[in-house]
Structure 1
C-alpha cells in the first residue's frame, strides 16, 4: 500500500517493549537504522548489548517500572514519537476449561493490561505533537472473523483485546496513529523454532508502521503491509 512515510526518523524517539530478542530486537534494530533514538525495553537491561540504543528496565506487568520508564524518557529527551507494544507471552494449546487460572491471568496481564497501562502513562508525550504512533504487535489468532478454535484461549483473547485497544485509541485521539499488526508465525523463543518466518521478516511491517507520517492510516490491522480483517 502506498502511504506517506518518513524517509528518516532522525530527531524522533521510540520505545520498544520486549526488545532483547526475536521480533522486538529486530524492530529496535530497524528503528535505529532509520535514525530514531530508541529506548529498548528489557526486564534485564544486561540483555541489551548494543550501544546504539538506550537500555531501559521495563517489565510491562509492573506498575512502577512502566511509570519509571516513561518518566526517564520524559526527563532524558522530553518526547516520545513511537511506542511499539511488542512484549508478549504465549499460553498453551489447552482449552479454557483446562487452563490454570494463573496462566490466564499472566497472559492477559502481559499481553493486554501491560500495553493499556503503558499507553496511559505515555499518552501526554505521544499527543504532544500530531502524528505520535502506537504499534501494537498482535496476532491473526485474535481475529474475530476467523473461528476461535485450537486452544490458546488466553493468548487469543489478549490479542483480540489488543486490537480493541487499537480501535479505541484511533477513535478517541485524532492526533494519534494507532495500528495493530500480525507479524506472522515467526521463529522466536515463543514458537520454539517451529515457525517458517525469520524475526527480520516479522519486524518489517511494524517498522513500516512506525514510519507513518501524521496523515497516514490509523485504526487498522495489518500483515505484510496489507490490510487484514479484524
Structure 2
C-alpha cells in the first residue's frame, strides 16, 4: 500500500511569520491530530514567495531542520497577481489533485501615520483581494473531509474599532463574499471622498483589510458548511517581531507561528468560521 502524503501551502513564507509557520508545520506534523486521523505518514509543504531568490534562500534554511517525513519545496507566488495565483492552483491540481492545508499569511502594512486613498489601495490589494483570490482558487482543491484553510488576520481588525454599529453589524453578519466585497468597496470610496470618519470607519488601511479577511473567512465557512470536514478559520498570530510590526513587538516569529499551526494540525473540535488568538476562540 502506498504511503499517504498530505500537501500544505504557506503564502508569504520567505521570512517572518510565514517562514516560521513552515518550520513549525514541519516540526509538529509527526504524531499530530491531522496526521493520525488521515493516516498520513508524510507531509509536503510548498513554501511560496513573490521573490524567487529569497524564497529559495529560505527553502535551504527550513530544509535543514525538517524531519525525514517532511519535504519542503518552493513555488513562486505573487498574491497581487491573479495569473500567479491560478498558475499555482493549476500546478497543484496537476501534481496532487487535492491539497490538505492552505495558510494564507502574505500581507503588507505601511509604516507611519499616513492614511489616504493610495495607501488603502496598496494595502487592500494583497491583504483582502489577494487573500480572497487565493481562497476562491483553492477551496475546490481542499480535501472536503479534512482540509484546513487558515487566513492570518489580526486583533488590529476587531470590530470594536469601528464607531458605526451598523458597519460592525454588517461585517459580523456577512454570510456571502459579495457582502464583504461591498464593505471593502465602501471603505475605499469613503476614504477617497474624505468621509471615512463620519461614516464610522477606523483610520487604518491595515486594520480594515483584516476586518475584511475575518469577515471573508466567516462567509467562506458559511459557503462550505455542507463540507463537514473542511474547516475555514481566521487567526491572529499576535504582535510579532517582524519587518512589518517592528522590533518592539513582544513575540518572536516562532511564537507567532503557534496559533496558525494549531489550526492546521490540531483537533479544534470541528470549528469553522471562527477567529482565534492567544486566548483561543475569540468573539469577533
Query: So what's the TM-score if we normalise by structure 1?
Result: 0.87
Where structure 2 has 5 or more consecutive residues not aligned to the other structure, the ranges are: 30-41, 64-70, 164-196
Q: Which one of the candidate residues 162, 169, 180 is aligned to 2:213?
A: 162
5 Å matches for 1:59-208? 59-94=78-113, 99-126=115-142, 128-146=143-161, 153-174=204-225, 175=227, 176-208=230-262
Structure 1 stretches of 4+ moved >4 Å: 146-149, 212-215
Match of residue 49 from structure 2: 42
Match of 1:12 in 2: 6
Change (3 A) 1:135 1:56: same
CA distance in 2, matches of 1:55, 1:43: 11
Number of residues paired by the alignment?
216
Distance 1:105 1:228 in 2: 28
Q: Which moved more, 1:154-163 or 1:217-226?
A: 217-226
How far 1:214 moved relative to its partner? 8.7
State the alpha-carbon separation in 1 of the partners of residues 99 and 52 from structure 2: 20
**CA separation of 1:152 and 1:206: change in aligned 2, threshold 3 A:** farther
Aligned pair in 2 of structure 1 residues 225, 71: CA closer, same or farther (>3 Å)? farther
SS at match of 1:36: strand
Comparing 173-182 with 209-218, greater Cα deviation is found at: 209-218
Per-residue CA deviations over 1:42-78 (Å, capped at 9, x if unaligned) read: 1122223324411111010111110111111112222
In structure 2, relative to structure 1, the CA distance for the partners of 1:229 and 1:92 (3 Å cut) is farther
Question: Alignment RMSD, CA only?
Answer: 2.1
Point out the more displaced range, 70-79 or 59-68.
70-79
Compute the displacement of 1:123 (Å): 1.7
Q: Unpaired runs of 5+ in structure 1?
A: 1-9
Tell me the TM-score normalized by structure 2: 0.71
Q: Of Structure 1 and Structure 2, which has the larger fraction of its residues in helix?
A: 2
Residue 93 of structure 1, CA deviation: 4.5
Q: Which whole-Å CA distance do the structure 2 matches of 1:54 and 1:147 have between them?
A: 41
Q: Using the alignment, how far apart are the partners of 1:225 and 1:218 within structure 2?
A: 17
